[in-house]
Amino acid sequence: MKENDRTTEVTDAAYEVVAVTDGDIAQIAELERECFSDPWSEQTLRDSLVNPLYRFVTVKDGERVLGYAGMFLTIPEAQIANIAVAPDMRRQGLGRLLLRGLVREAAEAGAEVAFLEVREHNAGAIALYEQEEFVRVGMRKNYYDNPVENGYVYMRMIERE
């Protein structure tokens, strides 16, 4: 399995954002099922890992996956596709760390703008995105199923360093 060695290291005192490897996928699939009503399947996750347009990062404690995030890069755009943190590890800054890891990597790959969608009532995720300088730019009516819900579109310009 090809590992993504282009991932920028983003750290705080305790944790490091690193590239996802094949050995992480089963735990990520489990987290998908735990966190989302429409989870990505293990096969979709494996396909994404080897898709050169997809970048996939994680924060781990030893072998345990604490959280993960991924995006599609269609330069000059980055589309953030998923981000999740294990329920018992939330509100410790890991979501922010993962998001910053993705944005940093998108910048290095030459992206100029990042987009994401979020459920209208996902207040926690929305608070995180707005703190990280994402701005609401649109709404997609009934974008989500299970339950049906509107989706907000958020955008953030990416500075070149």
Ligand X SMILES: CC(C)(COP(=O)(O)OP(=O)(O)OC[C@H]1O[C@@H](n2cnc3c(N)ncnc32)[C@H](O)[C@@H]1OP(=O)(O)O)[C@@H](O)C(=O)NCCC(=O)NCCS
H or E element, residue 26: helix 25-35
Does residue 83 belong to the site contacting ligand X (CB under 6 A)? yes
Is there a catalytic annotation at residue 15?
no
Quick check: is 144 catalytic? Answer: no
Work out whether 138 is an interface residue with ligand X (CB under 6 A): no
DSSP 35-85: H-SSPPPHHHHHHHHT-TTEEEEEEEETTEEEEEEEEEEETTEEEEEEEEE
Q: Which of residues 33-62 bind ligand X (CB under 6 A)?
A: 35
93 counts as binding ligand X under rule CB under 6 A = yes
Residue selected from 57, 71, 118, 158 as contacting ligand X according to rule CB under 6 A: 118
| Minimum distance, C-beta of residue 108 to ligand X, in the bound complex (Å) | 21
Residue 150 near ligand X by CB under 6 A: no
Peptide bond before residue 76 is cis, with ω within 30 degrees of 0: yes
Kindly name the residue from 30, 77, 117, 132 that is annotated as catalytic: 117
- Kindly tell me which of 1 and 148 has the beta carbon lying closer to ligand X: 148
* Interaction between residue 4 and ligand X (CB under 6 A): no
Would you put residue 91 in left (φ > 0), alpha (ψ -120 to 50) or beta?
A: left
CA distances from 53 to 48, 72, 113, 145 (A): 8, 5, 15, 26
| Cα separation, 99 vs 21, whole angstroms | 18
- Number of residues interacting with ligand X: please give it, by CB under 6 A: 19
139 binds ligand X (CB under 6 A): no
Binding of ligand X by 145 (CB under 6 A): no
* Residue of 15, 68, 129, 154 marked catalytic: 129
| Both structure tokens of 6 | 């282009």
- Cα–Cα distance for residue pair 79/69, rounded to 1 Å: 11
Q: Annotated active-site positions, please?
A: 117, 129
- Per CB under 6 A, residues contacting ligand X are 35, 83-85, 90-96, 118, 122-125, 127-128, 131
